[in-house]
Amino acid sequence: MPETSIGPGDRRAAASELASAAALSEQLQAIPLGALIADLERRGGIEAIPTPGSDGLTPREREILTQVLAGASNRDIARALFISPKTVSVHVSALLRKFGVSGRGDLMAAARASKLRPEGPRSDTF
């Protein structure tokens, strides 16, 4: 089967559709579907238009915060999410700004104090 490429206009349309699907899966609390959508975005190199949740965090920021709370380094997070360490650094900086703190330790404390929990089975581990 020949490999197909996605043009710039197609990527925008795909990102929009994936963002809609991700928002709906979050609203329905369909965690497996949300994981499949995120996997499709990563494998396709498509960045969905981030839509902040009720906590003000984008889905990617929640993913990264979950990893930070688990004690992962930027390099570990980058490997797990198939992104560059620099991209992780940018997201961590955004999280620090949103929580009004200046370091990872303070970020972890602020997230726990706000009772912000990662999604999935690990939500009771911290």
**Domain membership of residue 31 as a residue range:** 1-51
> Would you state the structure tokens that stand for residue 125, as one six-digit string?
């581990």
Q: Is the pLDDT of residue 6 over 80?
A: no
Residues 45 and 92 in one domain: no
32 shares a domain with 62? no
Mean pLDDT of 110-122: 63
DSSP letter at 54 equals: T
Average pLDDT over residues 33-60: 75
61 and 109 inside one domain: yes
DSSP designation for 36: H
| 120, pLDDT greater than 60 | no
Q: Are residues 76 and 45 in the same domain?
A: no
pLDDT of amino acid 9: 61
According to DSSP, residue 126 is labeled -
pLDDT score recorded for residue 122: 38
Residue 28 sits in the same domain as residue 67: no
For 9-13, 36-40, 91-95, which range has the lowest pLDDT when averaged over its residues?
9-13
Residue type for position 107 = L
Q: Among residues 14, 33, 51, which one ends one of the domains?
A: 51
pLDDT at res. 68: 94
Please tell me the total count of domains within the chain: 2
